[in-house]
Structure 1
C-alpha cells in the first residue's frame, strides 16, 4: 500500500516560489537560529532549548530515516533557509502520518506555508500513497490554521484547553487531509 521508497529516498520538490530539499548538515546554522526564536517556539509548542551540536546531529541524520521525511524550505533563487517541514509518526497499518511545518519569522504571511504544505501533501498522496495526513495546531495560531485549510486540511475537532503555554491553557485543533478528497479537489482546480 505505502511506497516506502518515496519516504526513504528523500526528494527535492519544486514549487512556483519555493523548493523543498532534504534537510542536511548544511542547514544547521539557520535551523539552530530558528529553533532559538521565542515566537517560533510559541507557535510550535517547543519547550526545549537545543544546542548547535544537537541541531547539527538532527539535520545530518534525517536522510538516514527510512520512515519519515524531513525537508528544508528554501528560496530557489538564493538557497536561503525559510523553514522546515516533516511527515513523521508513520502508521503503516492505517496508511497515515503526522505533518508539521515551521517557518522562519521573516517567511510568514507570504503564502510560503501554504505552498510548502501543498507540495508535501502532493508527495504524500501521489508518491508515498498515504491515505491520511493529520496535524495539530494551537487555536491561537489562526494564520497557520488558515494556511492548512487552503492547502487541503479539514478541521476534524478541537481538544479544549489541551495545550498549556505561558501560564494559560489553549485549545488544540485537529486537522487532516484525506487522499481521495485531496485528489478530487486538485482535479476540480484544473
Structure 2
C-alpha cells in the first residue's frame, strides 16, 4: 500500500552530511543559478530556458503533492543548498516511481552529497511511502552519475538508443532501477 499522506507531508530526511527538506520557493536563488549553469544543464539534458516566473511558480507548487516528493539537498554543516532531487510519477497501483537528482554545479560534484541524498530518498520511498520499484534515466556521457546510482543499489536495465540530441550529437539514455528487496549498500 502506498502512503500518499507521506508524500503530501514529506518529512525532512537527515543523513550524516546532508539534510533533505521540502523544495519550495525559498530555494529560488540557488535553483535559478543552477538552471543557468552549463554543466548542470548538460548533465540533466535541460534544453528549456525557463523564465524566473516559471521557476518561482513551479517551486511554489511543490509542497503538498500526492504523486511526488521534491526535496532540496542541504549541506548540514552550513545549510548550503547543494541541489535537489525528487521521487516523481508515483504509481500507487504498481507501487512504483521515478527518481531524478541535480546538483547545483561542479563545486558540489564528487563529494558524496548526491550518493547520500539518493540513499536517503530510497529509504523514504521504500520504507515510508511503500514503493516496490524506483527507476531513473541517465545519459551515456555521465559515468560519474551511473557509478553513484550503482553505489546506491540501482541496476542497469536498458538502453534507449540515441534518445537525446545534445551539442550536435545523439546520446543514449540508460535506464536503471532498484527494487525494494534489492541490496541497498
Per the shorter chain, which TM-score range?
A: over 0.9
* Residue 16 (structure 2) aligns with: 16
C-alpha distance in 2, partners of 1:108/1:69? 23
Render the CA deviation track for 1:66-92: whole Å, top value 9, x for unaligned.
211000000122211100000111112
Matches within 5 A, 1:79-98: 79-98=79-98
C-alpha distance in 2, partners of 1:84/1:97? 17
Structure 1's unaligned 5+ residue stretches are none
* Residue 75 (structure 1) aligns with: 75
Matches within 5 A, 1:52-131: 52-105=52-105, 106-131=107-132
C-alpha distance in 2, partners of 1:140/1:149? 16
Matches within 5 A, 1:156-167: 156-167=157-168
**SS of residue paired to 1:11:** coil
* Residue 132 (structure 1) aligns with: 133
C-alpha distance in 1, partners of 2:112/2:135? 20
* Residue 30 (structure 1) aligns with: 30
TM-score, scaled relative to structure 2: 0.96
Structure 2's unaligned 5+ residue stretches are none
Give the conservation status (yes or no) of the 8 Å contact 1:29–1:52: no
C-alpha distance in 2, partners of 1:97/1:165? 26
How many residues get paired? 184
Structure 1 stretches (4+) deviating beyond 6 angstroms? none
**SS of residue paired to 1:62:** coil
How much has 1:64 moved relative to structure 2?
A: 2.9
Give the conservation status (yes or no) of the 8 Å contact 2:9–2:64: no
C-alpha distance in 2, partners of 1:29/1:149? 31
C-alpha distance in 1, partners of 2:179/2:66? 22
Give the conservation status (yes or no) of the 8 Å contact 2:67–2:91: no
* Residue 150 (structure 2) aligns with: 149
TM-score, scaled relative to structure 1: 0.93
Larger fraction in helix: 1
